[in-house]
Chains A and B, each alone.
Chain A
Amino acid sequence: MQKRRSIKSTGIPENILGYLMVTPALLCILLIAIFPIVRTFSLSLTDMKMQFPDAAKYIGLNNYVKLLKDERFWNATCNTLFFTIVSVAMELVIGFTMALVMNMPFKGRGLVRAAVLVPWAIPTTISATMWKFMYHDQFGVINDILLRMGLIDQYKPWLGSTLSALWCAIIADVWKTAPFMGLLLLAGLQTIPIELYESATVDGAGRIRRFFNITVPLIMPTMLVALIFRTLDAFRVFDLIFVMTGGGPGNSTETLSMYAYTMLFRNLDFGLGSAIAVLIFIFVFLISLIYIYLLNIQND
């Protein structure tokens, strides 16, 4: 009793305590996220080279002008958009199917839910290495499977061809992240009250009508949130490309993050690299705005 009183007497007003308790987290965010993003922008207006940071000069929007005329930049933008749209669309379809299956009662459901988490949990560089070996032009098991099934007549250099390399990356990405999408959507499905389906059945609605009139509209908010996460993640894809192809062959898999990394840490051009980074940030910002707009329409 005595002890408690003494603590009370040193007690600080609640709102001050509140600010004190959030300060460490806020300081980290300000110092290591907000300040750097502002600095990336200011770096992008200079010609800084990493080896000579003190010799950097202000050059206005020159880096951006250079990028607008840079074919490699547009190529990376197209690759990134293609990768993002195709892989997120595939993940949505496959993930939704998985969610519908996992939402049904059947033996071994727990096992399926656990198995589905594993690809999500492992480092991307490891899944990328695994897939790289499976795609190998001579020792790869994918060539072996496709040849046995009669789908190809000879081994193909999947990662060595500009036609297939980006698709290979997309498949490896879908393998790793569709399960995650499935779990998010499953959680959304489980919040739909069963009574809704029951009363719809009483009213004579068939399976397909129940799906489009109940499941689809009620899962929409969860689906949009899942799509935001996945789209932003896919848009900044880096690890997977770095390990599987390094952006090749012939820049056919180079994404914006990969291009920015190459300019920053291989060419040591911090000015131009930061300009690409700023553009990625702006793209990501616009994508978020679109989704937030869609979410608001949903809620109205």
Chain B
Amino acid sequence: MRKDKLSNIAFYIAVAVFIVIIVFPFYWQIITSFKPPEQLWNIPPEWWPSRFYLGSYISAFTKRPFLTYLKNSAIVAISTTALAVFVTSFAGYALARLHFKGKNVILALALSVSMFPGIAIVSPLFLMMKQWNLLNSYLGLILTYTTITIPLSMWNLTTFFRTIPADMEEAAKIDGASPFYTFVKIILPLAAPGIFTTAILVFIAAWNEFLFSLTFNTKDALRTVPVGIAMFPGEYMLPWGDISAASVVVVLPLIVMVLLFQRRIISGLTAGAVKG
């Protein structure tokens, strides 16, 4: 009995250590964002702000183009999500339900494209975007992000469409509805949860992308958040207070989203891996 209790305590301590390691960098970021400038450069670093100073937040939003980065990221990530999910809803449905040749080839092609390293296509894409005048634009990034998220999105949706029972469709077929009509009016509403899960995953991927954003959109006014934060100017000393404040602003909504949609995200991420 005693031994059981002890091993129980040891177990909880181990879990607590894991959680502390995961959470600590966030804790440090948050307290750094509230430290007044005079405390920021103290050695040794202090573990709690001497007073709650909001200057770093104000400076991130007013002295730096952080709001522009947020706007750019939002436009690009939301458009990408809409476009990728729209395009792959059709593809996913066709691959899951309709009879035509070459379905496995298409799925295999998508899977292999998802393994392409970004760096292996960045040079020709850069030249293409230059030719089409899409450098320093939203459209260039949206097109690229849509393509790189299509494999993930297509696989997820195909798997999801397959789980929807076929009875409804057959009933509609007997009623004389065309496959397209059945898709729009019957399947899409039933697939809403799967589409939503896929949308979250695509959004996070687009919101976090770095390499293409860094190379295509070099003008400060068109930078996205990940690049903007990586490029926060600082000659000798990095403006740690401002960077921390900006990071907190970016990370908080992501944390809320993850906590709210935890189950969906996990099921979306793991569906493919478990089925092999």
Cα separation A31 to B127 with both chains bound (whole Å): 13
* Closest beta carbon of chain B to A58's beta carbon, Å: 16
Residue of B nearest to A260 (CB): B119
Most buried by A among B43, B47, B207: B43
A114 touches B258 (CB 8 A): yes
Chain B 8-50 near chain A by CB (<8 Å), digits 1 or 0? 0001101100110111011011001000000011111101000
The answer to whether A295 and B276 have CB atoms under 8 Å apart is yes
Q: Find the B residue at minimum CB distance from A287.
A: B115
What total of chain A residues lie within 8 Å of the partner, measured CB to CB? 104
> Which of chain B's residues has its CB closest to A261's CB?
B119
For residue B29, which residue of chain A has the nearest CB?
Answer: A130
Q: Could you tell me the distance in whole angstroms from the C-beta of A145 to the nearest C-beta in chain B? A: 9
A205 within 8 A of B: no
Q: Is A83 an interface residue (CB 8 A)?
A: no
B78 within 8 A of A: no
Knowing A28-B87, A118-B26, A281-B116 are in contact, say whether A238-B273 is a contact too (CB < 8 A).
no
CA distance A187 to B265 in the complex (A): 12
CB of A274 within 8 Å of the partner chain: yes
Cβ–Cβ < 8 Å partners of A5 in chain B: 176
Shortest CB-to-CB span from A79 to chain B, Å, is: 15
In the bound assembly, the distance between CA atoms of A129 and B33 in angstroms comes to 13
Q: Which of A64-72, A156-164, A195-203, A228-236 contacts B (4 or more CB under 8 A)?
A: A228-236
Tally inter-chain residue pairs, CB-CB below 8 A. 290
B126 cross-chain contacts in A, Cβ below 8 A: 50, 264
Among B11, B123, B176, which residue has its beta carbon within 8 angstroms of that of A264?
Answer: B123
Query: Which residues of chain A are within 8 angstroms of B214 by Cβ–Cβ distance?
Result: 242
User: CB distance A32 to B118 under 8 Å?
Assistant: no
Q: How far is the CB of A191 from chain B (nearest CB, A)?
A: 6
CB-defined contacts of A117 to chain B, threshold 8 Å: 258, 262, 265-266
How many chain B residues sit at the interface, stated as a range, is: 35 or more
Q: Is A25 among interface residues, defined by CB-CB distance under 8 A?
A: yes
- A106–B274 contact, CB under 8 A? no
Which interface residue of A7, A125, A242, A257 has the most chain B CB atoms within 10 A? A125
- The contact string, 1 if C-beta is below 8 Å from chain B, for chain A 262-278, is 00110000100110011
**Interface: A249 (CB within 8 A):** no
Contact of B91 with A24 in the complex, beta carbons under 8 Å: yes
CA distance A110 to B15 in the complex (A): 12
Q: In angstroms, how far is the closest chain A Cβ from the Cβ of B188? A: 13
Distance from B170 Cβ to chain A, minimum over Cβ atoms (Å)? 14
Taking the complex as formed, is B195 at the interface, i.e. its CB lies under 8 A from any CB of chain A?
no
Q: In the bound complex, do residue B177 and residue A33 qualify as a contact, i.e. CB atoms below 8 Å apart?
A: no
Chain B residue with minimal CB distance to A190? Answer: B274
State which residues 140-164 of A face B: CB under 8 Å.
140-141, 143-144, 147, 155
C-alpha gap A10/B179 in the complex (Å): 11
Q: Is the CB–CB distance between A106 and B226 below 8 Å? A: no
Whether B178 pairs with A7 at a CB distance below 8 angstroms is: yes
A147–B44 touching, CB < 8 Å: yes
Q: When A25-B88, A140-B45 are in contact, do A129 and B243 touch as well, CB less than 8 Å?
A: yes
A115-B22 CB under 8 A given contacts A187-B270, A277-B119: yes
Residues of chain A with a CB closer than 8 A to B113's CB: 29, 33-34
Q: Is B147 an interface residue (CB 8 A)?
A: yes
Given known contacts A25-B150, A238-B210, A36 and B262 CB-to-CB distance under 8 angstroms: no
With contact pairs A7-B178, A32-B143 given, residues A106 and B125 touching in the complex (Cβ less than 8 Å):
no
CB pairs A–B below 8 angstroms (21 shown): A4-B176, A4-B181, A21-B91, A25-B110, A25-B154, A32-B125, A35-B124, A115-B23, A117-B266, A124-B208, A126-B247, A130-B28, A133-B28, A133-B243, A134-B28, A144-B45, A191-B274, A222-B274, A264-B123, A278-B120, A280-B119
15 new A-B contacts, CB < 8 A, other than A25-B154, A113-B262, are A4-B181, A14-B98, A22-B106, A29-B150, A35-B124, A117-B258, A118-B22, A139-B45, A147-B44, A183-B266, A191-B274, A256-B119, A261-B122, A264-B122, A277-B119
